[in-house]
Amino acid sequence: MKVSSTPSVSPPNANPSWLVAGTVDQSMRSRLVYSLRTRATRWSLSRLPLLNRLHTRVTVRDLFSTPGDTLLTGIVCRHLKERYPNLRVNCITKHPDVLLNDPHISELNSPPGIVVIDFWYLDLVQKPDKNINILQPTISILGLGKLDYSAHVYLSEPERTAARTHLAHLPRPLIAFNTLSAQPVKNWPEKYWRTLLSRLAKNGSLIQLGDDREPELPVSLRLAGKLSKRESMAVLGECQLHLGPDSFLMHAANGLNIPSVIIFGGSRTPANLGYATNRNLYADIACSGCWLSGHKGSECPHNLVCMDAISPEMVLTSASELLAPSSASN
């Protein structure tokens, strides 16, 4: 059953050429535009106070392809707007619906203009550092000071109401989870999920989110593959707890102030991506912080021993501790 919560505004898709890191092609025009934009951005980065006084339009580009990275880009936009409130922020991303209603963003997927700030973290992927937050290099380049690493999600009241109605029949507390990330190296073994869920079912109603790749598991309500990203966020916003890997829903849960247990394993560290309010389960072994993806050419040579190090008991304990305040208030 699908939640009926279509956003009142449908943001446009980005022109694919706007999300190319370098020149679109080798034509003279493309190289000239890229050169001018690069020079303008370099000039602008040291003059943001002046651009703020002039109410300048600034574009922030999300150069990765996942909705989780889009929410991270939203954090950059928020920092920029809070520090320089007169800037007009245009955000270009493959997932504009995720940032719908964000008051820090004036435009979504409008043409880039002259001043363009790119958010991506290839340097961290290529030269892993266990201790650096994924956003810190961008925040430092922009001179925005201390990083407030927290996502914000802005749902409309109709979206929240639709989700509330859809979940009304389920006993509380509501426990949302997803098992899969886009990168196989982040996925906890299915057998562990089955063990965990069989025991966690005694604590509340289990709601499975994520896409249609999610395995069939014994749950109270399976919504995996049935919801849009915004519908998933609306359902998540009504839950008392979220469980899952480092994925889009981890960022969305933080943006909705939903306590979460995140199974990191070891490929990324909580210092890189973990939110301080979560229980971030991490295996600190010799190869941790490798930033492998698990796709062809980037497979784990150790059969994901870091994931095996996180037991169902560890996840259950963390979940029970986070649910305790919710149970006490009911």
Q: Which of 107, 141, 175 is the last residue of a domain?
A: 141
**How do residues 58-77 score in pLDDT, each as one tens digit?**
999 999 989 999 999 999 99
**How do residues 108-132 score in pLDDT, each as one tens digit?**
999 999 899 999 998 898 999 999 9
Residue of higher predicted confidence among 328 and 132 = 132
What is each CA distance from 132 to 86, 144, 195, 278, in whole angstroms? 30, 16, 34, 18
Is 250 found in the same domain as 191? yes
Q: Which of 101, 117, 141 is the last residue of a domain?
A: 141
C-alpha to C-alpha distance for 287 and 302, rounded to whole angstroms: 9
Phi-psi category of 109—alpha, beta or left, where left has phi over 0 and alpha has psi -120 to 50? left
Is 192 found in the same domain as 310? yes
Residue of higher predicted confidence among 29 and 163 = 163
User: Average pLDDT of 198-214?
Assistant: 97
Is 106 found in the same domain as 41? yes
C-alpha to C-alpha distance for 183 and 185, rounded to whole angstroms: 6
Could you tell me the CATH number of the domain that includes residue 259?
3.40.50.2000
Query: In the prediction, which pLDDT does 5 show?
Result: 43
**How do residues 253-281 score in pLDDT, each as one tens digit?**
999 999 999 999 999 999 999 999 999 99
In a domain, 320, yes or no: yes
In a domain, 61, yes or no: yes
User: Average pLDDT of 203-221?
Assistant: 97
CA angle centred on 323, ends 319 and 328, rounded to 5°: 155
| 62 phi/psi in degrees, rounded to 5 | -90, 105
Q: Report the percentage of the chain scoring pLDDT > 70.
A: 96
Query: In the prediction, which pLDDT does 172 show?
Result: 96
Give the SS3 label for residue 80. helix
User: Average pLDDT of 208-217?
Assistant: 97
User: Average pLDDT of 2-23?
Assistant: 74
Domain of 270? 157-329
Query: In the prediction, which pLDDT does 33 show?
Result: 83
Read off the amino acid at residue 62.
D
157: nearest Cα among 237, 258, 271: 237
229 alpha-carbon distance from chain centroid: 11
Is 249 found in the same domain as 124? no
Is 307 found in the same domain as 190? yes
Query: In the prediction, which pLDDT does 328 show?
Result: 58
Is 236 found in the same domain as 262? yes
238: nearest Cα among 321, 155, 325: 155
In a domain, 5, yes or no: no
Residue where the block lists tokens 């990765």: 64
263: nearest Cα among 164, 255, 273, 140: 273
Three-state SS annotation for 167-199: HCCCCCCEEEECCCCCCHHHCCCHHHHHHHHHH
In a domain, 188, yes or no: yes
Strand order in the sheet with 279-282: 221-222, 205-208, 174-177, 241-244, 260-265, 279-282
pLDDT at position 6 over 60: no
| 158 phi/psi in degrees, rounded to 5 | -60, -35
In a domain, 279, yes or no: yes
Is 287 found in the same domain as 254? yes
Q: Which residues contact 287 (CB under 8 A, 6 or more apart)?
A: 266, 302, 306
Q: Are 193 and 179 in contact (CB under 8 A)?
A: yes
Residue where the block lists tokens 């049935």: 226
pLDDT at position 1 over 50: no
Query: In the prediction, which pLDDT does 3 show?
Result: 41
C-alpha to C-alpha distance for 178 and 214, rounded to whole angstroms: 7
Q: What is the sign of the dihedral through the CA atoms of 96, 98, 100 and 103?
A: negative
Q: Which of 141, 168, 202 is the last residue of a domain?
A: 141
Is 281 found in the same domain as 132? no
Read off the amino acid at residue 168.
A
**How do residues 284-319 score in pLDDT, each as one tens digit?**
999 999 999 999 999 999 999 999 999 999 999 999
User: Average pLDDT of 196-211?
Assistant: 97
**How do residues 18-50 score in pLDDT, each as one tens digit?**
998 888 888 888 888 888 888 988 999 999 999
Tell me how many domains the chain contains: 2
Query: In the prediction, which pLDDT does 289 show?
Result: 95
In a domain, 251, yes or no: yes
Q: Are 93 and 73 in contact (CB under 8 A)?
A: yes
Is 32 found in the same domain as 115? yes
In a domain, 76, yes or no: yes
Is 164 found in the same domain as 126? no
Task: Report residue 327's pLDDT band, with 50, 70 and 90 as the boundaries.
Answer: low
Is 291 found in the same domain as 161? yes
Query: In the prediction, which pLDDT does 329 show?
Result: 59
Is 194 found in the same domain as 170? yes
Q: Report the percentage of the chain scoring pLDDT > 90.
A: 85
**How do residues 72-111 score in pLDDT, each as one tens digit?**
999 999 999 999 999 999 999 999 999 999 999 999 999 9
Q: Which residues contact 241 (CB under 8 A, 6 or more apart)?
A: 173, 174, 175, 176, 204, 258, 259, 260, 261, 319, 322, 323, 326
In a domain, 217, yes or no: yes
